[in-house]
Amino acid sequence: MVTKKIIFVLLLLLLLPATVFAWDDCPFGNVNDTYPGDCNRYIDTDNDGICDYSQPAPENRINNATNNLTTDNLTNITNITNKTNTSAKSEMPGITEKSAKRPAAKDIYHLLPVSLLLILLYFISYILSKKNVITIATHRKIWNMLLLVTFFISGLSGILLIIKINFGTMIPLPFDILFWHVEAGIAMVVISIFHISWHWQYFKNTLKI
């Protein structure tokens, strides 16, 4: 009975985000997303070829059109100014579109720093085990626990990203899920290499035909 209740709750959590509908509520921030859309949530109730999630409700579009009439002149002036600034910037040496779109600091992942740090820590614990400061069993327990922790972080954050992409449901967290998913994945791969090295003979014998 308890198992059935758990299964029902999980199905409800999975299906609920897909059934909730709202105009102008695209989880990816798309505007006027045309068919077939950027995700599997595409819906077009007014048959205008644009996903309802990426545009305002019909009644709001009328209000927006009225407001836009009063701001057309200001928009035209702004566009002319932007074009002038863009052309002037493109003529300046050393300034290109590529250099202007540098990734933010949080989008840079630390493959080498994380890998080198883990390798250094591994050799420290390995040397301590050889000098009998800690036992070989303790040395391996430390890295087995780190492997479990990184696997849990990478797996859980991956599930949260899937929920965000597939169902458009964003769980508010005080950190960047994608950033820590990648960082934990890097650490997990490096520690997995340590783990495989302990059991290399086993894998070698298993692969023998």
Match 């695209």 to its residue by tokens.
26
- Residue 115 CB neighbours (<10 A): 15
Does the pLDDT value for residue 136 go beyond 50? yes
90 and 131 both lie in a single domain:
no
In this prediction, residues 73-80 reach a mean pLDDT of 59
Quick check: bond before 36 cis, omega within 30? Answer: yes
Of the two residues 202 and 137, the one the predictor is more confident about is 137
45 and 64 both lie in a single domain:
no
For residue 193, what are its two tokens?
Answer: 């290499």
65 and 47 both lie in a single domain:
no
User: Residue 115's pLDDT band (boundaries 50, 70, 90)?
Assistant: very high
User: Residue 19's pLDDT band (boundaries 50, 70, 90)?
Assistant: very low
Does the pLDDT value for residue 107 go beyond 60? no
What span, in angstroms and rounded, lies between the C-alpha atoms of 148 and 24? 41
What DSSP state is assigned to residue 105? G
Residue 83 is predicted with a pLDDT of: 62
In this prediction, residues 102-108 reach a mean pLDDT of 52
Residue 30 lies in domain: 2-54
Last residue of a domain, one of 70, 100, 130: 100
- Residue 53 CB neighbours (<10 A): 22
For residue 40, what are its two tokens?
Answer: 């599997």
15 and 29 both lie in a single domain:
yes
In this prediction, residues 23-39 reach a mean pLDDT of 71
In this prediction, residues 192-208 reach a mean pLDDT of 86
130 and 95 both lie in a single domain:
no
What span, in angstroms and rounded, lies between the C-alpha atoms of 177 and 173? 8
For residue 18, what are its two tokens?
Answer: 């897909």
Q: What angle do CA 85, 68, 60 make, to 5 degrees?
A: 130
Residue 134 is predicted with a pLDDT of: 94
Q: What percent of the chain has pLDDT over 70?
A: 62
65 and 50 both lie in a single domain:
no
